[in-house]
Amino acid sequence: MVQQLNPQQEPETRSQPTSGSDVSRPTGAEDWRREFPYPWDEDEIVTRRDTLRFLLAGSGTLFLATGALAILGSLPQNSSSPITPIARVGELAENEWKVFNYPDQYSQGILINLPGHGLVAYSDVCTHLSCAVLYQKDGMLHCPCHEGLFDAKTGNAVAGPPIRPLPLIQLAIHDGTIYAVKEIAR
């Protein structure tokens, strides 16, 4: 015969000798309740419905935040780039190049005097993983990190992992000085 226990009622105990000493253990169908006490009255605090509401609200919040960031990213940016002097006219011979800071001290550009084409300037940050590109005498800009190549005349990606062209830096010449005017993302 199985004895039914009331949750407030203490179960029977019996003694079992364990390695020379007597240890009393509860017996019965619900011994685990004493060993692992659990506040049963708090069992229904979080329901499945509450969990689903939380997940739905969290997903909705993430959806709205992503939409807001997408809208903010598509707004035109203020193009108040400073006009910065970067070189003197005649300072670079054909096939020579110079790295300069633009639009601030943390970003760099590369000014190249291409044979038969003249001066061009690009951001020197590779569009693949932001490594610095270097000019090669064969009319290519080389990214040494992953062997990417860009055409020096157009800034377009030619080979390797990069697929986007380099951002163009617009130039102006005034009183024998070459100025970087604006960076144009492409």
Question: Is 70 exceeded by the pLDDT of residue 60?
Answer: yes
In a domain, 4, yes or no: no
Lowest-pLDDT range, 40-44, 64-68, 138-142? Answer: 40-44
Distance CA 110, CA 99 (A): 4
In a domain, 29, yes or no: no
Question: Is 70 exceeded by the pLDDT of residue 28?
Answer: no
High-pLDDT (> 70) share of the chain, %: 80
Mean pLDDT of 173-184: 91
Mean pLDDT of 129-139: 88
Distance CA 157, CA 72 (A): 28
- pTM of the complete model: 0.59
Whether the CB-CB separation of 173 and 158 falls below 8 Å is answered with no
If phi > 0 it is left, if psi is from -120 to 50 it is alpha, else beta; for residue 95 that is left
| Six-digit token string for 59 | 């997903």
Q: What is the CATH number of the domain that holds 143?
A: 2.102.10.10
Q: What are the distances in angstroms from CA 2 to CA 27, 31, 32, 146? A: 12, 14, 17, 75
In a domain, 156, yes or no: yes
Lowest-pLDDT range, 39-43, 137-141, 177-181? Answer: 39-43
Q: What are the distances in angstroms from CA 96 to CA 130, 167, 173? A: 23, 20, 18
In a domain, 139, yes or no: yes
In a domain, 31, yes or no: no
Distant-in-sequence, close-in-space partners of 179: CB < 8 Å, separation ≥ 6:
83, 84, 85, 86, 171, 172, 173
| Six-digit token string for 78 | 């203020």
User: 100 is in which domain, residue-wise?
Assistant: 84-184
In a domain, 25, yes or no: no
- Please tell me the predicted confidence (pLDDT) of residue 137: 83
| Tally of domains in the chain | 1
- Please tell me the predicted confidence (pLDDT) of residue 31: 78
Q: Higher pLDDT residue, 97 or 28?
A: 97
- Please tell me the predicted confidence (pLDDT) of residue 21: 52
In a domain, 32, yes or no: no
| Six-digit token string for 158 | 């030619």
Mean pLDDT of 23-49: 71
Residues 72-83: tens digit of each pLDDT: 888 876 666 788
Distance CA 90, CA 111 (A): 13
In a domain, 173, yes or no: yes
